[in-house]
Amino acid sequence: MKVWYYFELAKKAAQFDRDCFRLFYLGAVGIRSDGVLVSARNGAVINPNRAAHAEYRIGKKMDVGSTIFVARIKPINNGFGMARPCFNCRKFLISRGIDRVYYTISDDEYGCLQLNSSRSSMEDIL
């Protein structure tokens, strides 16, 4: 699997609307179990809530057994930053049956959460 390819797609989704300056942009792409590729990005809201998170927004489009790639983009240098999904987004993705989430850590490092597999423990996920 070409993980960095999907992070680049997530980067494009995150930067789709650069009209307003943010401290970072967050985008996500996902591969549904039927092979369809979908994308989402953080929403612009005054009072942030989980519905504004890219992970939540893409999770609503995914089905059981899907894989998601999340990228955090720094506007200063367009580099990747830490994009590990928050506690509430992880719980939501588990409830949706998402298998795994790949997320950027830096320009040359990424992590993976195994959400709905027999190999994962709840301590690792949450």
pLDDT in tens, 23-77: 788 999 999 989 999 999 987 666 667 778 899 999 999 999 999 999 999 888 8
With a CB cutoff of 8 Å and minimum separation 6, the contacts of 21 are 75
Note the pLDDT of residue 71: 95
Helix (H), strand (E) at residue 95? helix 87-95
- Structural domains of the chain in order of their starting residue, each with its CATH number: 3-125 (3.40.140.10)
Burial class (CB in 10 A: 0-12, 13-18, 19+), 24: middle
Size of the chain, expressed as the number of residues it contains: 126
Q: What is the pTM of this model?
A: 0.86
User: Which residues, other chains included, contact 97 with Cβ-Cβ below 8 Å and sequence gap of 6+?
Assistant: 63, 64, 65, 66, 116
- pLDDT digit string (tens) for 67-109? 999 999 988 888 999 999 999 999 999 999 999 999 999 999 9
- pLDDT for residue 19 is more than 90: no
Residue 121's pLDDT band, with cuts at 50, 70 and 90, is very low
Cα–Cα distance, 114 to 117 (Å, whole number): 6
Residue 68 three-state SS: strand
